Amino acid sequence: MTVSEHARALRAEIEKHNYQYYVLDAPLLSDAEYDRLFRELQALEAEHPQLVSSDSPTQRVGAAPLPEFVAVAHATPMLSLNNAFADAEVAAFDRRVHEGLALDEGVDEADYSAEPKFDGLAVSLTYENGILVRGATRGDGSTGEDVTVNLRTLRSIPLRLQGSGWPTLLEVRGEVLLWRSDFEKLNSRQREQGEKEFVNPRNAAAGSLRQLDPRVTATRPLRFFAYGIGGAAGAGLPATHSALLDRLGEWGFPVAAERRRVSGLGGLLGYYAEIGQRRASLPYAIDGVVYKVDDLAAQERLGFVSRAPRFAIAHKFPAEEAVTELLDISIQVGRTGALTPVARLLPVFVGGVTVTNATLHNEDEIRRKDLRIGDRVIVRRAGDVIPEVVRALSGQRPATAREFHMPTSCPVCASHIVRNADEAVARCSGGLYCPAQRKQALLHFASRRAMDIEGLGDKLVEQLVDGAVVRTPADLYRLGLSALASLERMAEKSAGNLLAAIEQSKQTTLERFIYALGIRNVGVATARDLARHFGSLDRLLAADAGQLLQVPDVGPIVAQSICQFCSEPHNLEVIEQLRAAGVVWREGEALLPAGGTLAGKLLVLTGSLPTLTRDVAKAIIEAAGGKVSSAVSKKTDFVVAGSEAGSKLDKAQLLGVTVIDEERLLALVNTPPPAP
């Protein structure tokens, strides 16, 4: 077998297992076996780059970030459906179909395809000769956004069609959505990371698909269901919509197993009642059902009215709400210190489950909804998953109802609560001390760009924290062999290796140590700038906001975060414990020139300069005290533009940023040009 044939065989094998897992939900391989096949294909393509093809499973992992989405005009508009909320409206739809098709009402019954109405994001997929070439969002129906690279990350979307008989040009339409279980896991991860939770699966799917960085989309468990086509050329298609969905399934697309062909008004309403009863047990959220005249030729005859088809209608489910009492509002502290108010409710049955708690997101949300403890409130299961307090019944407010106030100290560790002016989220300032943040703080402290403690991963940190073996990063340097070896799955040799890695991490750099502290808004680059500017940790800890603002790229928000962190005694105590444990670094004077001609200035390089390479220009700027950024913003002082300057130059001109050339740059730094 040639290398090319081997690659083709691997691709076919992997896509077969993708189909079994993501479409049929019937995996044939273990995760480890699948990963082995995938790594083998990755290695083969890395060794032979000419073998990489657009339909390879390796192309699903996410490409480089996009500058923006490109507009895509739909050849056939992606129209919305008219809605029906009552049986009488469905009866009127059925009557209009009879009239439009000249059926004898009372004698002939129209045949329909009935399907669940997915609560997701509509997209179109274009295939040429069976290969996915473009994917776009619905947008306004006429024009959408090109999200091809993001859609490629969905393993339920075939990159190459299966079977045979497909048209040479085919546009498939369907819905991108999240399953309930995946949505709950995603929000759990958001909470752990201190990020904002998604309101419902539809918003989560839309936000995930419209990421400019496809690598982010690749981490989200999105799924796709096909529900029709927008056009086809080069082959015949079935005569009915239900047969078309069967054919799409044969070509490798997931289609709803709950679809059915029914006849007449009785069939429509019967299907609606059945799906309504099954709604809570479905793996995905739906907000109704869709009825379509099954015969495709009949659809053509019925045509469209305004921006909706005459041959289809959405029969929506009523909102699932209930009234209960807001007993109390408690505070949850996330792994990054974010404080989230949680409504404690008198148990109420809504949307198929008993609800006792609901997130209130933040203090501003509570004020906006005018919620008070003791209120009678309306609770809704938003998107069938997250319980949401919609509003208070202020007309029924008891005299004993009281306002909620965010605590001023952390309910877990008693550290100060801080909230920046531009943020809705309040946070605990005891990052190195707070028990709620211990696991996240330890993982960050040990990460590769921080103290680089090899072997200290999630599972081990969980054991160390849950067993009360480690409370702060300083406790890592007090660990003994016997304590580690007694942990689950930790042999004596592994324990010894970890202790050696911990000991080795004592010799570090100031910038690594600053980053390891986990100060909010202080990343790797900012930690480096702080280390260079102050030269010692004590000078940094003693700095006030004004002194911090003199550091390149440190603005008011970052300065405030640093001041808040350094004002918390718990954090300073842990730092002293780390020093006492032997963590050391070289200190000295400030490394950035304080009086350089570009001190405190932010510059961006774009295009090709006449005599300077990009690296040389950057070195000249930094030697003069300046800072080089990769992106143009309002904070940029100068854009140095050469030939073939692109979008950065356009943005500089739009924002009114001063644009200079190489000659002006050299004049600013008083540096002669390099010898020819």
Q: What is the C-alpha end-to-end distance of the chain, expressed in Å?
A: 55
Which of 432, 584, 582 is CA-nearest to residue 509? 584
Beta bridge partners of 389: 379
Q: Is 277 exposed, middle or buried (0-12, 13-18, 19+ CB in 10 A)?
A: exposed
Q: Which DSSP string do the residues of 10-48 spell out, in sequence order?
A: HHHHHHHHHIIIIISS---S-HHHHHHHHHHHHHHHHH-
Measured distance CA(315)–CA(318) in Å, rounded: 10
Measured between alpha carbons, how far is residue 227 from residues 12, 47, 123, 292, 315 in Å? 25, 40, 10, 11, 16
The most distant pair of C-alpha atoms in the chain lies apart, rounded to whole Å, by 95
Which token pair is 40?
A: 């083998």
The residues pairing with 179 across neighbouring beta strands, listed in sequence order, are 284
Active site residue 117: yes
Closest-CA residue to 446 (of 427, 430, 465, 467): 465
Closest CA to 318 of 343, 287, 283: 287
Give 290-319 as a DSSP string: EEEESBHHHHHHH-EETTEETTEEEEEPPP
Q: φ, ψ for residue 294 (rounded to 5)? A: -75, -35
Ramachandran quadrant class, 582 (left: phi over 0; alpha: psi -120 to 50; beta: rest): left
Which residues are part of a known binding site? 31-35, 80-81, 115, 138, 175, 292, 316, 410, 413, 434
CB contact at 8 A, 15 and 8: no
- Annotated binding residues for NAD(+), written as ranges, equal 31-35, 80-81, 115, 138, 175, 292, 316
Q: Which residues are annotated as a binding site for Zn(2+)?
A: 410, 413, 434
Query: Alpha-carbon Rg of the chain, whole angstroms?
Result: 30
Distances (CA, A) of 574 to 438, 458, 484, 564, 660: 12, 21, 22, 15, 47
Name the pairing type of β-strands 353-359 and 602-606: unpaired
Looking at residue 175, the DSSP 8-state letter turns out to be E
The 3-state secondary structure of 563-608, one letter per residue: HHHHCCHHHHHHHHHHHHCCCECCCCCCCCCCCCCCCCCEEEEECE
Residue 389 tokens read as 């307090």
How far apart CA 147 and CA 72 sit, in angstroms, is: 10
Q: Which of 16, 117, 493, 651 is catalytic?
A: 117
Residue 647's alpha-carbon distances to 8, 635, 653, in angstroms, are 39, 17, 10
CB 78 within 8 A of CB 154: no
Helix axes 87-101, 264-278, angle to 10 degrees: 140
Q: Any idea which residues carry the catalytic annotation?
A: 117
